[in-house]
Amino acid sequence: MSKTVLVTGGGRGLGRATAEKLAARGHRVLLTARTRAAAEDATEAIQRTDPDARVEPRWVDLSSLEQVRFFGVAEAERGEPIDVLLHVAGILQTSKERRLTVDGHEETLAVNVLAPFLLTALLLPALERSPSARVVTVGSRLHLPGSRGAPVDFDFADVQLEHGYNPERAYKNSKLAVMWFTYELQRRLAGRPITANAVCPGFVPTTAAASTRGLMRLFMAHVLPHMPFATSVDAATDSLVFTAVDPSLDGVGGKFFGECHEIDSSAQSHDVAQAGRFWTIAEHLTGLA
């Protein structure tokens, strides 16, 4: 059955490739990018390849909570159902300098977690118009203990990493928070025909290269794709599409997926008290409290 899928981060990378794959399978795609030009360019590129593709451009800068609010409210007021809200947009910061959004929030946390948190809340009316809706958010196995690089270390007294900032830690902490958001959302959706899941698309060097510069960009674009731990765009988007629309997941929520099957998340991600604590913090930071 055809679904209406809102995809964030559709202007480039995995978001755009996922939007293209969903449209090719007959789904209606609301392609969301940071700017109007980026959204329209991506939409037109997909439709040139597939004239029958049902893709509609949308635009919102997820680093601005004001823009997220404006977009979410306007989209909900269209009165149309959204069957799948697919949060693909995200950043992998490489700068050692802690960066803040226009709202004064640490950028990685803001884009990877706070924006999806707020947008989901605002789009609940549209999701509730669907007979069976899904919220799918991109997570990462890097939230697991022992993953390469700086370890996960989520300090509730320093959520925004004002002290001891490290870009790898910021990213991993954000992906742990994605798991808390997903599992807590599923608990709070009890009794509604909406499910919440997270998905790890794997490490895709060719898209991650967009966040880097110079020699690092060349290394990620041309060397890392040949490493055994790397994932192709095709395989990554298969995982995203599976979690978003596969009929076998109807009614299935509160899970973590990768390679088109359920995978384990960390013990900390299943801590109900910590998930509830983060939810309260997110409500405060996004103004939903």
Tell me the catalytic residues: 171
Return d(Cα 107, Cα 284) in angstroms, integer.
16
- Which residues 6+ apart lie within 8 Å of 20 measured at CB? 46, 49, 50, 53
At 255, is the secondary structure helix, strand, or coil?
strand
Q: Determine how many CB atoms are found less than 10 A away from the CB of residue 190.
A: 8
Residue 73's H or E segment, with its range, is: helix 65-76
Q: Is 60 left (phi over 0), alpha (psi -120 to 50) or beta?
A: beta
Judged on CB neighbours under 10 Å (0-12, 13-18, 19+), 273 is exposed
Return d(Cα 261, Cα 242) in angstroms, integer.
9
Amino acid type, 115: A
Q: Are 150 and 169 contacting, i.e. CB atoms less than 8 angstroms apart?
A: yes
Give the Å distances, CA to CA, from 202 to 153, 230, 258. 21, 7, 7
Give the CA dihedral 36, 38, 42, 44, nearest 10 degrees: 50
